[in-house]
Amino acid sequence: MGFFTTSWGSYTDLTNMQVTIDGRALVGNRTGIGVHTAEIAGRLSGSPLIASHAEIADRSGLDRCRFRVDPMPLGVAWQQLVLPRIATDGVLWAPHGTLPLALRIPSVTTLHDFSSLTMPLRHRIKTMLSFNLFIGRSLQMATRIAAVSRAVAEEAVRWFGVARGRIDIVPNGVDEFFTPDGDEDDYVLFVGTIEPRKGLDDLLAVWDSLPAPRPRLILCGDAGWGNVTLPRDAEVTGYVSRTRLRELYRHARAFVYPSRYEGFGIPPLEAMACGAPVIATRTGAIPEYGEGAAMLIDPGDRVALNDALVRLLADASLRRELGNRGVERARPYTWDRSAALMTQLLAEASR
């Protein structure tokens, strides 16, 4: 029996329903789960309440939402002790995957990945504790479960015995802001958290071995957990605005995403939408959307990464072909579709 994917032909109205959202992922720079949360929350009908333990500075796209902040130093303590007293009516959406154990209303929880279980040494202790201690019970409690990819759904089935019929696929999307435009420049681009889990050691080793003259290397993203020794001549941008990010995607000669583990992998999809030729690893949802439209390699295979990068940099026609394929492949992955699927799950959970 396969996973259930809800129909999204009609958009369910949540105007008369109280929807509370665990907004911890929106605190700080908006990446990963934060992007997923914001893009869907901003498209829900009615006035969802986004509750958090700290101030949410970036509220762009969330004009219809209401906000509540109950300050607390530890987000997991806030989730377990405060959130159950806030979410007392309607339905709770938990984008982080875990639920307050004292919750007494229906809920939808979203699974993005299990990296704190599969790669425990690549996360901060507080991250592991906030997820690992509560995920098993949360999956038992949840009224409905969403997974961003079939790969993540299968992990929930294997490790926690969740019945496939309880899991709905609600994939990530691409903002319509990300579109192709412009000529390529002479740089190789990586976008994501600067940490070992993203396979940056593999990329840096391969890039360092490229013969001269080699393109520039641009690494775009916040620093994460763990040390990555960066070469002096690599350009590290840190977190950038969406406008700057789009321009980086649009003009990259090659976009490389050598991640060792992903639940979904948003940056390769965004790069494809912007017409960048993509090299990525077969992990998470990347094979689901990238097969045939990107050059896919196994995680950790530096020989395959080197071969793919050398070939792509030398072949302009291949770059154009992959760029065109990527734009078409990314087209169905819209946040409108994701929000419609989540809307239906929230409505069904509340019944």
The per-residue pLDDT for range 161-220, each reduced to its tens digit, is 999 999 999 999 999 999 999 899 999 999 999 888 899 999 999 998 998 889 999 999
Statement to judge: residues 27 and 167 lie in one domain: yes
Q: What is the mean pLDDT of residues 292-306?
A: 97
Estimate the crossing angle of helix 302-314 against helix 316-330, to 10 degrees: 110
What mean pLDDT value characterizes the chain?
Answer: 91
Q: Is 12 part of any domain?
A: no
Which are the contacts of 321, defined by CB distance < 8 A and separation ≥ 6?
none
pTM assigned to the model: 0.90
Q: Is the same domain home to 137 and 198? A: no
Residue 178 lies in a domain: no
CA distance 278 to 259: 13
- Identify any residues that bridge with 217 across adjacent strands, giving them in sequence order: 188
Domain count, the chain: 2
Give the Cα separation of 187 and 26 in Å (integer). Answer: 31
Would residue 7 count as lying in a domain? Answer: no
Mean pLDDT throughout 11-23? 85
My answer on whether 225 and 266 are in the same domain is yes
**What's the CATH number where 134 sits?**
3.40.50.2000
Cβ count within 10 A of residue 332: 11
DSSP type of residue 95 = T
Confidence of residue 122 (pLDDT cuts 50, 70, 90): low
156 and 201 both lie in a single domain = no
278 is a domain residue: yes
| Same-domain status, 159 and 253 | no
Give the integer Cα–Cα distance in Å for 15 and 5. Answer: 23
CB 96 within 8 A of CB 78: no
Distance of alpha carbon 319 from alpha carbon 332, whole angstroms: 22
User: Quick one: 162 and 196 in the same domain?
Assistant: no
Backbone angles phi, psi at 75, to 5 degrees: -60, -35
Biggest CA–CA distance in the chain, Å, is: 63
Domain that holds residue 242: 187-330
- Looking at the fold, whether 285 and 194 belong to one and the same domain comes out as yes
Q: What is the rounded average pLDDT of the residues 70-84? A: 95
Task: With cut-offs at 50, 70 and 90, classify the pLDDT of residue 126.
Answer: low
pLDDT at position 9: 47
Are residues 193 and 110 located together in one domain of the fold?
A: no
DSSP assignment of 181-228, as one string?
-S---SEEEEES-BSGGGTHHHHHHHHHHSPSS--EEEEES-B-SS--
Specify the higher pLDDT residue, 13 or 310. Answer: 310
Q: Is residue 3 part of a domain?
A: no
Are 281 and 306 part of one and the same domain? yes
Residues 86 and 162 in one domain: yes
What percent of the chain is helix, strand and coil (3-state, nearest 5)? Answer: 40, 15, 45
In a domain, 25, yes or no: yes
Same domain, 340 and 261: no
**Within a domain: 279:** yes
Q: Does residue 251 sit in the same domain as residue 111? A: no
Q: What is the pLDDT of residue 8?
A: 47
